Chains A and B, each alone.
Chain A
Amino acid sequence: MRTLIRIIGLWTLLQLRTIGHMFVFLINSFYFIFVPPFKIRLLLRQIRFFGNKSMLVILLTGSFTGMVLALQLFYILRKFGSEALLGPGIALSLIRELGPVLSALMVTGRAGSALAAEIGMMRISEQIDALSAMALNPLRYLIVPNIVAALIAFPLIVAIFDVIGIFGGYLVGVEILGISSGTYFSLMKDYVFMEDIMVGLYKSLSFGLIVSWICCYKGFYTGFGAEGVSKSTTEAVVLCSILILIWDYFLGAVLL
Chain B
Amino acid sequence: MKKIDLELAVGFFVLIGVLCFGYLSVKLGKLEFIGEEKYVLYAKFEKAGGIKAGAVVEIAGVEVGSVKNITLNKDYQAEIALLINKDVKIQEDAIASIRTKGLIGEKYIEITPGGSDKILPEAGIIMETESAIDLERIIGRYVFGKV
Interface string of B91-118 (1 = CB under 8 A from A): 0000000000000001000000000000
Contacting residues of chain A (21-56) with chain B, CB-CB under 8 angstroms: 41, 44-45, 47-48, 51-52, 55
Q: For the side of the interface on B, what is the size category?
A: 20 to 34
Query: Interface stretch among B13-21, B38-46, B81-89?
Result: B13-21
A162→B17 CA distance, assembly (Å): 10
Asked whether any CB of chain B lies closer than 8 Å to the CB of A17, the reply is no
Complex contact A155–B24 (CB within 8 A):
no
A163, B20: Cβ atoms under 8 Å?
A: yes
A104 vs B18: C-alpha distance in the bound complex, in angstroms? 18
**Counting CB contacts under 8 A, is B12 at the interface?**
yes
| Closest CB in chain B relative to A93 CB, distance in Å | 13
Of A175-183, A191-199, A244-252, the one touching chain B? A191-199
- Number of contact residues on A: which range applies? 20 to 34
Q: Does A188 touch B at the CB level, under 8 Å?
A: yes
Closest to A163 in B: B20
Q: Find chain B residues with CB under 8 A from A41 CB.
A: 6
Q: How far is the CB of B53 from chain A (nearest CB, A)?
A: 10
Q: Is B145 an interface residue (CB 8 A)?
A: no
Query: Known contacts being A163-B23, A197-B29, is A48 close to B13, with CB within 8 Å?
Result: yes
Shortest A59–chain B CB gap in Å is 11
Interface of B is mostly: helix
Find chain B residues with CB under 8 A from A44 CB: 6-7, 10
| Of the residues A45, A51, A163, contact of B13 by C-beta under 8 Å | A51
Give the complex CA separation of A73 and B106 in angstroms: 21
- Contacts of A181-215 to chain B: CB distance below 8 A: 188-190, 192-194, 196-197
Question: A4 to B26, alpha carbons, bound, how many Å?
Answer: 60
Is A194 a contact partner of B30 (Cβ separation < 8 A)?
yes
Question: How far apart are the CA atoms of A155 and B16 in the complex, in Å?
Answer: 12
Asked whether B54 is an interface residue with its Cβ less than 8 Å from the other chain, the reply is yes
CB of B137 within 8 A of chain A?
no
User: Among the interface residues B14, B16, B24, B29, which one has the most CB atoms of the partner chain A within 10 A?
Assistant: B24
> B1 in the interface, Cβ–Cβ < 8 Å?
no
8 additional contacts (CB under 8 A) given A47-B14, A160-B16, A189-B27: A91-B28, A95-B24, A95-B28, A153-B13, A162-B20, A163-B23, A188-B28, A197-B24
Q: List 27 A-B contacts (CB under 8 A).
A: A41-B6, A44-B7, A44-B10, A45-B6, A47-B13, A47-B14, A48-B10, A51-B10, A51-B13, A51-B17, A91-B28, A95-B24, A152-B14, A153-B13, A155-B21, A156-B14, A156-B16, A156-B17, A156-B20, A157-B17, A159-B24, A160-B16, A162-B24, A163-B24, A189-B27, A192-B28, A197-B25
